[in-house]
Structures are given as structure tokens and as C-alpha cells.
A and B are shown apart, each in its own frame.
Chain A
Amino acid sequence: EDKVVQSPLSLVVHEGDTVTLNCSYEVTNFRSLLWYKQEKKAPTFLFMLTSSGIEKKSGRLSSILDKKELFSILNITATQTGDSAVYLCAFSGPQGAQKLVFGQGTRLTINP
């Protein structure tokens, strides 16, 4: 059975800290790995990674995929209170099967 496991499930840090969120997966047919941010509403898309070892960046957020070791990390540097959210990772399967399988999410809390 395909599955995605995120760790930690919950993380509390101070503003300005750097955090690393982890996502490991066991899938039979991997196409891409996606990261979403969810505040008190709908998940919003952050990154999609398909190639191993290539970092995607957007401001203070960055992510990288390791297809050999079957994991991805999401880094957030110089955290701000607005980064407080649940971060979800998901994978998609073969071309044409566009379903996503989500992990449980990591709840990140940034204290001022």
C-alpha cells in the first residue's frame, strides 16, 4: 500500500528559527512529490518536485527530493509568525493517474 509519512507531526519554534520538515514515502509508481501549506482554510500549493537532487526555492522556503532514499524535506529559514500552518506533502503516481496521496501533515507553530 502506498503511503506518505511526515515528521514531526507537530513543531513549535521561535520567530527567526530555521525549521526542517520531513516527508518520506513508499510508493509503487512515483511521478512527483508536492508540498502544500494549510492555514485555517484550503491547502495552497507550494512546490512540486519530480527530479532528485534539484532544489526548489521560493523566498525563505526551499525543498529538495531524494528519490533514492525516498524522502523530501521542506526548509523554512528566518521563520515568521505567518509561517504558522499545517504543511502537507503528497505524491502522485503514474502519468494519467493524477490522484494525490497525502501525509498526515506537520503542524508548525511560530511563537513571537
Chain B
Amino acid sequence: DAEITQSPRHKITETGRQVTLACHQTWNHNNMFWYRQDLGHGLRLIHYSYGVHDTNKGEVSDGYSVSRSNTEDLPLTLESAASSQTSVYFCASSNPSGGSEQYFGPGTRLTVT
């Protein structure tokens, strides 16, 4: 069955370190998205991609970057982790020829100390 996976599921890191969160999907979807979820804010869009070598900034992109070298993967990098980036991160994908529904990965809980 097609799926979307994220790794690691939990991560603790120190302020100032570079961190990369992985997202891999086997749906063969062109669209991929990264969100963060914090209490009181719902899901907020960080970066998104509509295909290989395409990346776009979302609502809360400062301090984050992504790259898309193939269809299956969209890694999210925190260049220099800050305590404000402690959050749960969700990756999602969608089929551009389908509806707008996105399918979510299980999430990564990141703690920056």
C-alpha cells in the first residue's frame, strides 16, 4: 500500500544545531507540504513543492529550508535550531490532478533545548 513516512518520529536537539527531518511518500504525488502544529495555531504551512526542483515558502518559512531532488522525498532542514521551533512537524502529499485533499505522515515531535 502507498504511504507517507517521516523520520525520526521523535528528536531532541540543542539550540544552534542543524536538524533535518525526512519525509518519504510512495503515492507518486507531485505535491508535498511541510506543516508545524502548535497549541492554539492549528497547522501552519512551512514550505511546499509542486514537483522536482520546485520549492516555495509558506506562512512560517523563516529558519527552515527544503529541497526536492526526486518525487518521493522532501526533507525539511532547520538551519540553526531555536527553542521557538519546538513543535510537531507533519509532512503531507497530494495529487495535483485529484482534489485538494492531502494525505499526512505520522508526524515528528521535535524538541529544541
Q: Which of B43, B90, B94, B105 has its CB near the most chain A CB atoms (within 10 A)?
A: B43
Which residues of A line the B interface, CB within 8 A? 31-32, 34, 41-45, 48, 88, 90, 92, 96, 98-105
- Count residues of B near A (Cβ-Cβ below 8 Å): 24
User: What are 30 A-B interface contacts by the 8 Å CB criterion?
Assistant: A31-B100, A32-B99, A34-B100, A34-B101, A42-B104, A42-B105, A42-B106, A42-B107, A43-B90, A45-B102, A45-B103, A48-B99, A48-B100, A92-B100, A96-B96, A98-B50, A98-B94, A98-B96, A98-B100, A99-B45, A99-B48, A99-B58, A100-B45, A100-B100, A101-B45, A102-B35, A102-B42, A102-B43, A104-B40, A104-B42
Which residues of B line the A interface, CB within 8 A? 31, 33, 35, 40-45, 48, 50, 58, 90, 94, 96, 99-107
B79 to chain A, nearest CB (A): 23
* Complex contact B104–A105 (CB within 8 A): no
